[in-house]
Amino acid sequence: MTEKRIKKLLIKTKRQVFSEIPGNNPSLFKGEGFDFVELREYQPGDDVKKIDWLITAKLQKPFVKLYREERELNVVVAVMLNGSMFFGTKRFKQEVAAEVASLLGFAAIKNQDNFSYLLFADKEYGSIRPTKNMQAVWQMAKQIVRFQPLGKVANFAALSARLFKIRRKSIIFIISDFLEPFDLKVLAKKHEVVAIVVRDRFEEKPESIGFMHLIDPETKKSMMVDFEGLTIKNYVKEIKKLDHKMYTHFKKSGIRFTKIYTDEEPFIKLLKLFGQR
């Protein structure tokens, strides 16, 4: 990706956040309240995740914990840049991830929240301490698009362990294609986790293209594959099984999520995720 395209991407995302979202909008990143205030009896419409089950069991009535939400949030953008992110029929997933991360970064800074990022694959490749400096977003985007993901595997266990070490409760956005095994359950108990799934439609609904020489983007091993009938059918079946497991994990862990394809507009999908449109 050329410097000109990187600059164009950053100008676009900055304009969308600062011009198309009216005013300071703290509800864009609506995190859990961090300071405990009191217990009160459950009322219709309360979030069931805030029920204190121990008190409920003792008093035989449902009670919820009330919190005072901090004005200043801690927003962390974590991008998984393993080999499979170097793919796309419309745009590379890696480029879409850079756009999504930039939108989140600019939104955090516009809301005067603390912003930090973490670039990961088999290990950590880049990060910055919490800041409100807009240059951090530019730095992050450039690092993402210039990164060489080929030959790198996704290590979600190491990423989760690294993010778990963040002391202050944070809103953590994890951007990945989530095609590799992962477990965010423990991390989601400490922090509020939001998953942004970046995919190309061809990955989920491939066309019949006959014999093709493929290279595994993580191991760099090459192979000849007959991408026809039964092969495609079995592949699609496995992808659906993988996604069902992924969605189930997100829902059980209380993780908000959205899927953004390489031919979609990330800004619109993020607004929908946060209930802005």
DSSP per-residue string spanning the chain? --HHHHHHHHHHHHHHHHHHS-S--GGGG-PPP-EEEEEEE--TTS-GGGB-HHHHHHHTS-EEEEEEPPSS-EEEEEEE--GGGS--SSS-HHHHHHHHHHHHHHHHHHTT-EEEEEEESSSEEEEEEEE--THHHHHHHHHHHH---TT----HHHHHHHHHT--S--EEEEEE---S----HHHHHHSEEEEEEEE-HHHHSPPP-EEEEEE-TTT--EEEEEESHHHHHHHHHHHHHHHHHHHHHHHHTT-EEEEEETTS-HHHHHHHHTT--
C-alpha of 230 from chain center:
33
| Residue numbers of the domain that contains 41 | 35-68
Looking at the fold, whether 91 and 180 belong to one and the same domain comes out as yes
Whether the predicted pLDDT of 221 surpasses 60: yes
β 114-120/192-199 pair status = unpaired
Please report the pLDDT score of residue 71 as a whole number: 60
Please report the pLDDT score of residue 33 as a whole number: 43
Looking at the fold, whether 50 and 120 belong to one and the same domain comes out as no
Tokens of 36: 């405990």
Percentage, residues of the chain above pLDDT 90: 63
| Mean local confidence (pLDDT), 14-43 | 68
Looking at the fold, whether 54 and 130 belong to one and the same domain comes out as no
Looking at the fold, whether 147 and 54 belong to one and the same domain comes out as no
Q: What value does the mean pLDDT of the chain take?
A: 88
Looking at the fold, whether 151 and 233 belong to one and the same domain comes out as yes
- pLDDT (tens digit per residue) in 97-149: 999 999 999 999 998 899 999 999 999 999 999 999 999 999 999 999 999 99
| Mean local confidence (pLDDT), 60-87 | 85
Question: How many structural domains is the chain composed of?
Answer: 2
Looking at the fold, whether 262 and 237 belong to one and the same domain comes out as yes
Looking at the fold, whether 41 and 146 belong to one and the same domain comes out as no
Whether the predicted pLDDT of 247 surpasses 50: yes
Identify the CA nearest to 6 among candidates 134, 173, 137. Answer: 137
Whether the predicted pLDDT of 69 surpasses 90: no
Please report the pLDDT score of residue 149 as a whole number: 96
Looking at the fold, whether 62 and 130 belong to one and the same domain comes out as no
**Looking at per-residue confidence, does 218 or 10 come out higher?**
10
Domain limit, last residue, from 12, 46, 68: 68
Looking at the fold, whether 18 and 146 belong to one and the same domain comes out as yes
Residue 30 forms part of a structural domain: no
Please report the pLDDT score of residue 23 as a whole number: 52
Looking at the fold, whether 130 and 52 belong to one and the same domain comes out as no
Sheet of strand 114-120, all strands in order from the earlier edge strand to the far edge? 124-131, 114-120, 74-80, 171-176, 192-199, 256-261
Distance CA 62, CA 124 (A): 43
Whether the predicted pLDDT of 1 surpasses 70: yes
Please report the pLDDT score of residue 28 as a whole number: 56
Please report the pLDDT score of residue 79 as a whole number: 98
Give the domain CATH number at 83.
3.40.50
Looking at the fold, whether 15 and 49 belong to one and the same domain comes out as no
Looking at the fold, whether 55 and 125 belong to one and the same domain comes out as no
